[in-house]
């Protein structure tokens, strides 16, 4: 089973992805957090296959959080979700090794497809 941690304020979107997972394979467990501290605590304590960060929540702290995640687990897979006006952060994040990104607005189907793609690719 794959474990995905997501920093988000859009819990409904991830609930929809969970529904897709149940219909499809059931092999992905998605845990959402609205707090960076909570996400870091769980990330440190458990095996994680993918971390999804909503850059709009983090704003200028996105790069700092990516660096912290990398310092804890160097090979962690990180994906970003962001609005068009945050693309500069995305460019900087690619230099830190993020695996993918999605630009808002996104649908449940888009999110499920990219999560599945990232998890099955590695």
Tens digit of each residue's pLDDT (9 = 90 or more) over 22-76: 666 668 888 999 999 999 999 999 999 999 999 999 988 999 999 999 999 999 9
d(CA 52, CA 111): 10
d(CA 65, CA 51): 11
**Which pLDDT belongs to residue 122?**
59
Domain boundaries, the chain: 2-121
d(CA 6, CA 17): 12
**Residue 20 near residue 112 (C-beta atoms within 8 A):** yes
Give mean pLDDT, residues 5-9. 92
Which two three-digit tokens encode residue 113?
A: 């497809």
**Residue 85 near residue 58 (C-beta atoms within 8 A):** no
Q: Domain 2-121 - what CATH class? A: alpha beta
Sheet holding 28-33, edge to edge: 28-33, 2-7, 50-54, 78-82, 100-103
Average pLDDT, the chain: 89
């Amino acid at each position: 089973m794959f474990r995905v941690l997501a920093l988000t304020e859009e819990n409904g979107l991830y609930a929809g992805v969970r529904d897709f997972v149940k219909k499809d394979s059931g092999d992905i467990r998605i845990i959402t957090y609205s707090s960076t501290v909570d996400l870091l605590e769980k990330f440190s304590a458990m095996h994680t296959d993918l971390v999804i960060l909503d850059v709009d929540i983090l704003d200028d702290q996105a790069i700092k959080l990516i660096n912290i995640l990398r310092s804890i687990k160097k090979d962690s897979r990180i994906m970003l979700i962001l609005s068009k006006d945050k693309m500069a952060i995305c460019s900087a994040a690619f230099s830190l090794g993020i695996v993918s990104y999605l630009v808002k607005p996104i649908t449940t189907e888009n999110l499920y497809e990219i999560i599945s793609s990232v998890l099955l690719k590695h």
